[in-house]
A = this chain, B = another copy of it.
Amino acid sequence: MGRFAEDQDPLFRRINSSVSFDWRLASFDIEQSKAHARALARLGVLDDDELQQISNGLDSVAAELDGSDFEFREDDEDIHMAIERRLTELIGPLGGKLHTARSRNDQVATDLALLVRAHSARAIALLEALMETLVAQADAHSDWPAPAYTHLQRAQPVYLGHHLLAYFWMFERDARRFFRAAEATTDMPAGSGALAGLNWDVDRDALAADLGFERPQPNSLDAVSNRDFALDYLSAAAICAMHLSRLGGEIVLWSTQEFGFVELPDSFASGSSIMPQKKNPDAAELLRGKAPRVAASFQSLLGTMHALPLAYSKDLQEDKEPLFDATDNLELCLAAATGMLGGIEFNRDRLAAAAEDELLAATDLADALVQHGVPFREAHGLVGGMVRSALDSGRSLSELTDSELDGVPDGARQAVRRALEAGQTIESKLSAGGTASSRVEEQLERAREALSALRP
């Protein structure tokens, strides 16, 4: 380095170097460099032969990287320098021309945008598989009664398919969020130089088209200091991971001896080092346990961006590891969730027994009274009294005698008793989006449409 009289301190080198993690940008960097070489050729900076040599050289570097033959050197500060260094070893001083009309600042921002776009697509594909599994399981269990809960207290019965579809819609929103994260990468940083633009009138529209961007980013300062697309990916990932934590948490709950609603496939469970009887829902627990880590990645990058002056600051090197950690963990969780859900077995009897709890019909009793002219609040109070009588005397609601139904208008008694008949409650939830069979069928149809809409 012409400007410096002293060598870098080893400690400085260690904190400054990013090659131990930014090698993950390698394929995107080579893709970008090849397109950049084509742009330089269009500018006349490279002739056809030079372009060919550089392009071939980059392919060789890519092959070395793919085959793990690439040798990193101690003074490879980052993957960009390492690739250029190797290119120059392979094709000679011509390699030095490649950095014409660009800076590491716009180069790294562009690599990262390409990576975010690729991982957004990957998340969508993994979500699609998970959603398909949910639709298949919902379809297969669309008429299995199951208890639904509020406050984790049994509230009303639903069909199991209805419950599973609730997760479908969460993941459908996640997929849309990842589409937006991908959209956040439509503006190309490349061609912004260090921060002020370039001395070369690179055809940025052509370069953008070449690399799959929609347009050049309109401001060079913003281009090199913007990491919003990574934050968009990370907030989508954090919310998606939270949904997975809810799914994982319910599977852990349902796998307990007390609930007993599901049996995990042996292939998605593990034993204990000490207790031979154990079958533990580790994968479900990890769906849960990993979610805060993904949220922390968002928080980490957002914190790093806090109050950062324009344009590029070295702090931005800290954009990568949180992002890579999030992509790794989210993708693993999505795939594991799909695998686990595909092999899960539900216990029809346990679910049905819990769903048949007569107390879950209490709202219907109140509604029956409303149909007979009792204002809802009053009806609610009357049924609350019946519940108390039943609980206090250890009987079910249908075992209460007529005389205990005080306050129930004579004409309504019949309706009250009918509301307690098996299956009544679940089928009476007939509003759109409700759990009545016809509505669940409708919903499955819409879920399939939503799935198709995700596919190009």
Complex-state Cα separation, A368 to B271, whole angstroms: 20
25 contacts between A and B (CB under 8 A): A3-B388, A4-B266, A4-B269, A4-B279, A11-B283, A12-B340, A16-B282, A103-B274, A152-B253, A153-B255, A156-B195, A163-B310, A196-B429, A198-B431, A200-B431, A218-B433, A218-B446, A223-B433, A231-B242, A246-B307, A248-B307, A258-B354, A276-B363, A286-B317, A303-B303
The interface bits of chain A over 64-76 (1 if a CB of B lies within 8 angstroms of the residue's CB, else 0) are 0000000000000
Contacts of A3 in B (CB 8 A): 271, 276-279, 384-385, 387-388, 391
Say yes or no: A242 contacts B305, CB within 8 Å. Answer: yes
Q: Determine whether the beta carbon of A191 is less than 8 Å from that of B339.
A: no
A305 to chain B, nearest CB (A): 5
Query: Which of the segments A24-32, A55-63, A116-124, A293-301 contacts the partner chain?
Result: A293-301
Q: Which of A223, A242, A325 has the most CB of B within 10 A?
A: A242
Instruction: Tell me, in angstroms, the Cα distance from A227 to B341 when the chains sit together.
Output: 24
Residues of B within 8 A of A278 (CB): 3, 150-151, 153, 155, 362
Interface residues on A, range: 35 or more
B433 x A191 contact (CB < 8 A) = yes
Distance in angstroms between the alpha carbons of A222 and B148 in the assembled complex: 12
A23 on interface, CB distance cutoff 8 Å: no
Please determine whether A197 and B434 come into contact, CB atoms closer than 8 angstroms: yes
Known: A242-B302, A274-B103, A375-B93. A257 touches B293 (CB 8 A): no
Name A59-110 residues within 8 Å CB distance of B.
Answer: 77, 80-81, 84, 88, 93-94, 96-105
Q: How far, in Å, is A29 (CB) from chain B's closest CB? A: 13
- Does B162 lie within 8 Å of A429, measured CB to CB? no
Q: Which residue from chain B places its CB closest to the CB of A380 in the assembled complex?
A: B276
> Does A432 touch B at the CB level, under 8 Å?
yes
- Residues of chain A in range 1-52 having any CB-CB distance to chain B below 8 Å: 1-9, 11-12, 14-16, 45
Q: Is the CB of B150 within 8 A of A12?
A: no
Beyond A289-B315, A295-B302, A336-B11, whether A277 also contacts B387 by CB under 8 A is: yes
